[in-house]
Structure 1
Amino acid sequence: MATTNLGTALTIGGTGMLASATHWLAARSDKTIVVARQASRFTRGDVRLVPVNADWKHPSFAPLIAEAIRKVGPIRQVLLWLHDPEALIPLLLPLIGTGRVVLVLGSSQSQPVTPPGIASFTTVRLGSMKTASGRRWHTDDEISEGAIAALQDGQSRIIGDLVGLD
């Protein structure tokens, strides 16, 4: 089955629990910009991956991303795991243009308002799974599977249940 080329992608916070989703995206993209505190360690010289070593709390965060985008071209797909989406999405909007955005949210994060100017803004909310002995958090693979599904179909979703998480 032929894979659709997703153009240039951007991931922020995609090197931990979303590592599988970042690799999935990179396999289907021309280039994938990977923004993380230790992005170079994650990319390990893979030519499809463009590392941007940056911490969102540092003032150089947005300019470093802008420089990477300038080098590889406009962004068509965005995968985000942000601790403070309300503060960071306005900084990212001018950089990502009309790229399709998938934002992964923890169970306690509020649903952000869809920013104007984004063609497709999808959220993946992380809940928990019921087990015979109570509840458990999702594995990294389960979280990545939910993010990949959202990248594929553009539909927001909740992974698991948002109840019983206290």
Structure 2
Amino acid sequence: MSQLFTMAITYLGTTLIVGGTGMLASATRWLVDRSERTVVASRRANQFTCDDARFVPVSADWKHPSFVSLVGEAIKEVGPIQQALLWLHDPEVIIPSLLPLLGTARVVLVLGSRQAQPAIPLDAARFTIVRLASVTTSSGRRWLTHDEISEGVIAALQDGHSRIIGDIAGLQ
């Protein structure tokens, strides 16, 4: 396991995570450990194992019309968001609705290897883009592991720099 998981970094304030209960589970736990409160919105948020009282699950699908209002209700309870981690399969659909809830929060947006840069304008000072790719091995290519993805996302949360995790060549 990378040293990124053990570094003692303390974030103040509240975090919003959308879609962090699957491949980003390690990054979600890392953020829960370092945030005053963490709102985690996903289809399976209530099934996510986290015994920390600072963890606020919101079980909702971002495709559902009530998603933004459910997340907004949770944010009202915990206070303004200082940082967000978003893993969305179609960010252009939901980000415009989420932006008012985020205020001036710093945002890490995770994109799949075949996702285009969102056509909506994103403030480069606030948004860090993490693009997922694959890894070249002696026997060919393989997809990233969940740990590799979380490590790259944690690095982006720490330094605020956009990045590609893995090698994007050959995936286009």
Q: Same fold (TM over 0.5)?
A: yes
Instruction: Please say if residues 92 and 120 of structure 2, whose CA atoms lie closer than 8 Å, have aligned partners that are also in contact.
Output: no
Would you say how many aligned residue pairs link Structure 1 and Structure 2?
Answer: 166
Match of 2:21 in 1: 15
Structure 2 CA distance, aligned partners of 1:76 and 1:118?
16
Off by >4 Å, runs of 4+ in structure 1: 116-119
1:39 partner letter: A
Distance verdict in 2 for CA 1:47–1:118, change over 3 Å: farther
- Spell out, residue by residue over 1:16-45, the C-alpha distance to the aligned partner (whole angstroms, 9 max, x if none): 000000000110000000001121111455
Q: Normalising by the residue count of structure 1, what TM-score does the alignment of the two structures yield? A: 0.93
Structure 2 CA distance, aligned partners of 1:43 and 1:75?
22
Instruction: Please say if residues 14 and 80 of structure 2, whose CA atoms lie closer than 8 Å, have aligned partners that are also in contact.
Output: yes
Distance verdict in 2 for CA 1:139–1:117, change over 3 Å: closer
> Unmatched 5+ residue regions in structure 2?
1-6
- Spell out, residue by residue over 1:78-117, the C-alpha distance to the aligned partner (whole angstroms, 9 max, x if none): 0010011011110100001110000110010011256456
Structure 2 CA distance, aligned partners of 1:33 and 1:165?
33
> Unmatched 5+ residue regions in structure 1?
none
Secondary structure of the equivalent of 1:93?
Answer: helix
Q: Give the % identical residues.
A: 67
Give the drift of 1:57.
Answer: 1.5
Distance verdict in 2 for CA 1:69–1:90, change over 3 Å: same
Instruction: Please say if residues 12 and 34 of structure 1, whose CA atoms lie closer than 8 Å, have aligned partners that are also in contact.
Output: yes
Secondary structure of the equivalent of 2:96?
Answer: helix
1:54 partner letter: A
Instruction: Out of 76-85 and 112-121, give the one that drifted further.
Output: 112-121
Match of 2:4 in 1: none
